[in-house]
Structure 1
Amino acid sequence: MLSLAVAALSARLLPLTSASSSQCYVALLAEPLRLLRSEPGLRRSCLYQALVFAGFSAVWTGVALLLTGPVYGRGAGAVGLLALVNAVTMVCTPVAGRQVDRRGPDAVNRVCFLVVGASTAVLALGGVGGAAGVAALIVGTLLLDVGMQSGMVANTVRIQALRAEVRSRLTTAYMTCAYLGGAVGSWLGVRAYGSFGWLGVCALVAALTAVALARHRWATRRTAGRFRRTAAPGSGAAGPIMAARAAATSPEETS
């Protein structure tokens, strides 16, 4: 009844609007796929977030199994308390945003991958159990959460700068890829824990992060090469101006 009442009030009070696009609904649903094909920066951001969120999901799936298993023998409430502690990482997003404004999304992505990679080493110590293991799980999940959330800020800034007129569709493509990565990460995390235990989950996250970092290094080196080739003919002020123009007009990579 309350839902019906809210629906009736919304129909009565909200202003009438017209569609912002002349495309049919089916075409709009397919638009994120077309953007993934045509926008290299979107593909790169989607890959980064899918890999990191896969690792994030794998860790939290494995943590639940670890804490409720024989090493700790805790209940589901212990997992909830650990997640509650990680709520403090929300304060990192404004800091990440300022760093993206100052240094650009690529620099923040690089740091985030390194932070996530470092978290796997700390998380591995969580398998020893006891107070030391709990401390390692707290610190490791905090680092993982900071890396994941800060990376999301950098990736969002990158995709929002691509095409202002289709930002909602860019976001749809990005978030879909991110959550697909998270679903796959949970699936892999269960299997890694079942086959190799907690260390298998940590190794899985490290491998996913290594793939993301390798892809990032390849992309940034390719972009730096474009800048050098563009700036070479100029001298003095002309070189930097031409390099900046190349950065604004050329894609970050071609595949």
Structure 2
Amino acid sequence: MSVTSHSACALPYRAPGWLILLFSVASGLAVANVYFAQPLLASMAADLHVSTQAIGSVVTVTQAGYAVGLLLLVPLGDLIDRRWLISAMMFAASLALTVVGFSGAFSALLVGMLATGLMAVVVQVFVASASALSPPGERGKAVGAVTGGIVLGILLARLAAGALADLAGWRAIYRLSAALIFIMAVVLWRVLPSQKAHAQKRGYRQILLSVMQLWITVRVLRVRAVLAMLIFMSFSLLWTGLVLPLSAAPWFFSHTQIGLFGLAGVAGALAALKAGRWADRGYGERTSGLALFILVVSWLPVSMAGSSMLLLIVGIVLLDFAVQAVHVTNQSLIFAARPEAASRLVGAYMVFYSAGSGAGALLATMTYDRWGWAGVCLTGALVSLSAFIFWLLTRYSGK
């Protein structure tokens, strides 16, 4: 039996803490599916007989599916009951993961990963739900909590994927995740409150067109979306490219060992979770500027991966702190601008996140193939510097 219907209550429904926690856990499980592949690329390439350069398309195709889902599926959260939408997407995600887990050809893998990315956008419906079910003064806190689950899912995905790959092959993690996502879908269907859509009198076509209208009229959405594209391009350059030097000389690390580096990212990302509260208090721009500066600097210790594990770990902590601090601040500022359009806002914003992640993954494998780890780090530093300069230009160009 589900929690009391939000649409049926005379007074605004306020999500209990356990429901926000459930959103966080479910978000972590769902988003992890997008990132399992990163430490497994070498194994996938060997098993399916494709080149190092070509295998990067696995991540790119997944992000392409994510981008399409952001445009076509996430805005539905402002049109239909989010309880129905979330449950349907979680069941579909379980099916897509089953296809990936049993794929025997590269083409089948790509189709499964495309569908996995498409359904993984359910995490943005969770974010929008957490914001909508929270009082105005606590929205940043709720978004930060769910984003924390997403961050943990992204970073721990590499560790889980690496460990299971060493034990049972690269397909094992996808089969396990298919089962877990199915169970979570059942739980969510039973406990989620019904959420009446703000724009339910509109048609689907009108909802999609209104996303473009929001893009034109909400300046903070445009600015923060571009920042998202650049910071997650930098993020993806690191995490897609890192597996290549660590699995080669002089380290020759196993999948599990490579996955452990995700724990360093967790430390940095968790430190950034208060960014939502800082944004609630009016410090969004200061947080963004400091974090973007740290992002640029982080690539220096990251570039030492071939000679110093300590410096690499320091760089990973700094980079993940910077990326997640900006990301949480971005969402807090966007939701504050138009809280009634949360699903459409986050969909429009996250398209740029997905575009940056996909481009970064492709750049990482292509750049490493030609110029090695130094080339990847230089590219990452230039992308990060571009983000910082863009923030400076938009910060002082008026509202």
TM range (shorter): 0.7 to 0.9
Deviations 1:140-181 (A, max 9, x none): 111000001101121112211211221221111112211221
Decide whether the 8 Å contact of 1:160 with 1:167 is kept in 2: yes
Using structure 1 for the length normalisation, give the TM-score: 0.76
Moved over 6 A (4+): 13-17
Q: Which residue, out of 76, 82, 94, partners 2:255?
A: 76
Q: Which residue of 1 aligns with 2:212?
A: 33
1:215 is paired with a residue of what secondary structure?
helix
1:222 is paired with a residue of what secondary structure?
coil
Does residue 146 in structure 1 map to residue 321 in structure 2? yes
Higher relative contact order (CA 8 A, sep 6+): 1
5 Å matches for 1:1-255? 10=189, 19-21=197-199, 22-128=201-307, 133-223=308-398, 252=399
- RMSD after superposition: 2.6
Shift of residue 59, structure 1, vs aligned partner:
0.6
Decide whether the 8 Å contact of 2:303 with 2:374 is kept in 1: yes
Decide whether the 8 Å contact of 1:86 with 1:142 is kept in 2: yes
Decide whether the 8 Å contact of 1:100 with 1:154 is kept in 2: yes
Decide whether the 8 Å contact of 2:264 with 2:316 is kept in 1: no
Query: Higher helix share goes to which structure?
Result: 1
1:69 is paired with a residue of what secondary structure?
coil
Alignment partners' CA distance in 1, 2:197 and 2:293: 43
Using structure 2 for the length normalisation, give the TM-score: 0.50
- Identity among equivalent pairs (%): 27
2:306 is paired with a residue of what secondary structure?
helix
Using a 3 Å threshold, how does the CA distance of structure 1 residues 38 and 81 change in structure 2: closer, same or farther?
same
When structure 1 is superposed on structure 2, of 188-197 and 50-59 the one drifting more is 188-197
Decide whether the 8 Å contact of 2:295 with 2:384 is kept in 1: yes
How many pairs align? 217
Using a 3 Å threshold, how does the CA distance of structure 1 residues 190 and 20 change in structure 2: closer, same or farther?
same
The letter for the 2-side match of 1:193 is Y
